[in-house]
Structure 1
């Protein structure tokens, strides 16, 4: 499919959304921004919709006329089940209904490594984690991403709505922990991956891992590369400094031996 002319970017005020606002226009996208929080420093080429995913009328209006949707909106950390349900499960359902009703053909969905967070991380030289590994969510947040992937599959099978679900690792200008050396995705590589996911032919519902071409990589990027993704960055230049400060991973500790890191061991967040 040709590169979409107008892209709805949900979660545009967040950290990843802010990076992509700077990077995606160079790939030919005109951005329509959606977030419950105000978007700062709006450019002349950007449209902005400030609304909640629960506002179905505003959401449908935001979707109308776009060529594709990059869905980053929602809670990106653990929270109470009630908050996760509203933002990440019901909110994503509302988005898919709006996309279906408006006849938009492609969604790129921000999933997460936390959908498989209790999966053991491979040791040095061990086999990479495939995308078809059984889902083992590590939190209500991870559970919501597992749901979102299934929702995407349902809308492909029932309605022919294509989705690429991207299990994002950690997307920051540089990694900040030793664990992150294995799952880091540079913002520039994020833009490359999302562009590939938006433009590849016949994706149906495809699940990919989102990271750079890290020397210490934990998961298999072959399904992402099949979309045309060619990562250019590697976390290894940051490794020596981080290891000197934090030490090598201690695989006797679950938070360092499991894919989901501290999400697998942090105390649960109960309603309050």
Structure 2
């Protein structure tokens, strides 16, 4: 089995790569900056916005994990070009190459203006909080289109925050541990015929407000909880919009300014 990872030099991909290694599986890595290859890895240099590079990258691939793109707020032009047009380029190349499954990295910011409630469903309709959030809502729509038009299996993972440790107080709710990320992406890779799905990418945190039912239906089982870091994380509790909305402080940051 050969799995293509776009954005392979980025933070999430760096955490995932060792956790997705399996006997008989080759990870093909694509990024504008070539990461150092480990055993059973292939490295390609190119942009997700380049149709020719993506055609080469998708050749003889069984699944694509699309992590490439701007991971934070950026200008509208950059966000459209890299995140939205880049995702369409990836999906089109995958479709033409006959790749049966694509996993898209979406974000909690696609629904950042949803109010914080218990067990927010993964398929809540978009309420983005930033241009970045708009781009993630758009890639979910593109994934739906390519599934409906071409029968491709597409799973969109609305990632909370995937780091070695929770990033601050808000992260105690949004954290996706690296090990749980490996378990979640593995489930999305191997579940038989998922069709089109949207799932939350979070651990089973004590302070979680996101439903895990949709991810668990694909076989995901979280074994981690951000609460083990709670005593080490200091700072004021969120207030105002940062406490009211899923997107937290991102609901009030300036639009289009790289951060």
Alignment of 1:48-197 (within 5 A): 48-122=43-117, 127-197=118-188
| 8 Å contact from structure 1 (residues 100, 161) kept in 2 | yes
How far apart, in 2, do the equivalents of 1:184 and 1:27 lie? 29
Q: Which residue matches 1:6?
A: 2
| Aligned partner of 1:29 among 25, 29, 33 | 25
Alignment of 1:239-258 (within 5 A): 239-242=230-233, 245-247=234-236, 249-251=237-239, 253-258=240-245
How far apart, in 1, do the equivalents of 2:69 and 2:149 lie? 24
How far apart, in 1, do the equivalents of 2:167 and 2:206 lie? 16
Classify the secondary structure of the residue corresponding to 1:57.
Answer: helix
Does 2:254 match 1:267? yes
How far apart, in 1, do the equivalents of 2:111 and 2:80 lie? 19
Compute the displacement of 1:202 (Å).
Answer: 2.1
Classify the secondary structure of the residue corresponding to 2:211.
Answer: coil
Classify the secondary structure of the residue corresponding to 2:79.
Answer: helix
Classify the secondary structure of the residue corresponding to 1:185.
Answer: coil
| C-alpha distance 234-240 of structure 1, shift in aligned 2 (>3 A) | same
Compute the displacement of 1:28 (Å).
Answer: 5.4
| 8 Å contact from structure 1 (residues 27, 195) kept in 2 | no
Classify the secondary structure of the residue corresponding to 1:59.
Answer: helix
**CA RMSD, aligned part only?**
1.4
Q: Which residue matches 2:42?
A: 47
Aligned pairs, number: 258
| 8 Å contact from structure 2 (residues 6, 48) kept in 1 | no
Classify the secondary structure of the residue corresponding to 2:133.
Answer: helix
How far apart, in 1, do the equivalents of 2:182 and 2:21 lie? 10
TM-score after normalising by structure 1: 0.91
List per-residue Cα deviations over 1:25-53 (Å, max 9, x = no partner).
047531000001221x3224211110011
How far apart, in 2, do the equivalents of 1:18 and 1:270 lie? 26
Moved over 4 A (4+): none
| 8 Å contact from structure 2 (residues 25, 40) kept in 1 | no
List per-residue Cα deviations over 1:53-95 (Å, max 9, x = no partner).
1221111111000110000000010000100011001000000
| 8 Å contact from structure 1 (residues 70, 107) kept in 2 | yes
Classify the secondary structure of the residue corresponding to 2:20.
Answer: helix
Classify the secondary structure of the residue corresponding to 1:131.
Answer: coil
Compute the displacement of 1:132 (Å).
Answer: 2.9
Deviates more, 1:259-268 or 1:98-107: 259-268
TM-score after normalising by structure 2: 0.96
How far apart, in 2, do the equivalents of 1:102 and 1:150 lie? 21
Compute the displacement of 1:255 (Å).
Answer: 1.9
